[in-house]
Amino acid sequence: MTSRQLSPGSPRKVNGHPIPELEDFDLEDGNDGDTVVTSGPHHQLERIQAELASRASVHHFAHSAVSFLASMIAGGSAARMASDTQQIPAGWAIALAAVAVALLGYSFARALLGSFRLQEERRQFIALKALRRALRLDDPSALLPQ
């Protein structure tokens, strides 16, 4: 991996997405003791971690894979029924072929939703890493006694 020199003021990017800097986060707590803080950096950290914990893209991709497999099974069964028209009416083969096409469409739709959600999760993960860096949660020297 090569290192590039960044000019002052140029935004750092990962995969074309800008990396949030420290000033992009609201690090002022503003808690007077009587109110619940919902915009502090630790709340932002918890919110991003909770959103990433759901891993919705995996759910979409799993649905896509299962429906694709089911569509292949239904399509093969429809082709087999179509070749055995003496024993099975052609209407059943046509109906099963329609089910296979519908499952295939559902599979591609879920794969598309999964890829969009994965892009969003990647952006959230980049923001999470930047926030952890801003809060110095992964800095081992911050954990040492002073």
Check residue 26 and give its pLDDT: 52
Q: What integer is the mean pLDDT of 119-129?
A: 86
pTM of the predicted model as reported, rounded to 2 decimal places: 0.61
Nearest to 95 by CA among 66, 111, 110, 74: 74
Residue 31 tokens read as 């808690």
* Residue 25: closest CA among 120, 137, 114: 137
Given a cut of 60, whether residue 50 has pLDDT beyond it is yes
Task: Tell me the C-alpha to C-alpha distance, in Å, between residue 117 and each of 51, 103, 121, 144.
Answer: 11, 21, 6, 38
